[in-house]
Amino acid sequence: MVASVATGRPNRQEQPLNPNQTLNDALQEMKGDPPSSIPLVVRLLENPASPIALPGKIDLYRHDCLHVLLSQGFSLDNEAFVLGFTMGNDTSTRRYHLAVFKLCSRLLYPPPYRFERSHFEAFDRGFLWGQNLVVKNLNAFDFEACKHQTVGELRQHLGLDMAG
């Protein structure tokens, strides 16, 4: 993925997406993993229902909404970018949370969810963009209420300028 070093924003879309498409329609076209396939350690650290979830914790629906709005596919680099964005955008994230996440995703996450060092470059770019975004805590945003808005309208409303 090519991104602006200064902002973390992707310089090009990772998956073709019509900004005039509704969020709901874009989600219907996605081919993400079903909830039953998500490993326990991933759910423990990333699911808001977990008592030990890290900042940036997000349910799968919201996570998939961010994949759409950030124009990210499902490669490990794309996942790293979205997870970094979510953690960076959460106002409760501290430096030690990043260390815990990177350690666990590198050593405890099973393949194909395990990150390698190379994936942390995408994670860090996503983190930077999420941190610099004016709108905060998108991991708790009510995307369900906006599912009939277009992707372009939502991006504009949330300040997700894809042009960089």
Lookup: tokens for 92: 């409760």
| pLDDT tens profile 89-134 | 999 999 999 999 999 999 999 999 999 999 999 999 999 999 999 9
Please report the pLDDT score of residue 34 as a whole number.
Answer: 86
Torsion of CA 99, 100, 103, 108, to 10 degrees: -170
Rounded to the nearest 5 percent, the helix, strand and coil shares of the chain are 50, 0, 50
Could you tell me the residue ranges of all domains in the chain?
23-158
State the pLDDT confidence band at 2, using cuts at 50, 70 and 90: very low
| pLDDT tens profile 127-136 | 999 999 999 9
Per-residue pLDDT at 140 exceeds 70: yes
Using a CB cutoff of 8 Å and minimum separation of 24, what contacts does 48-53 make? 48/139
pTM: 0.89
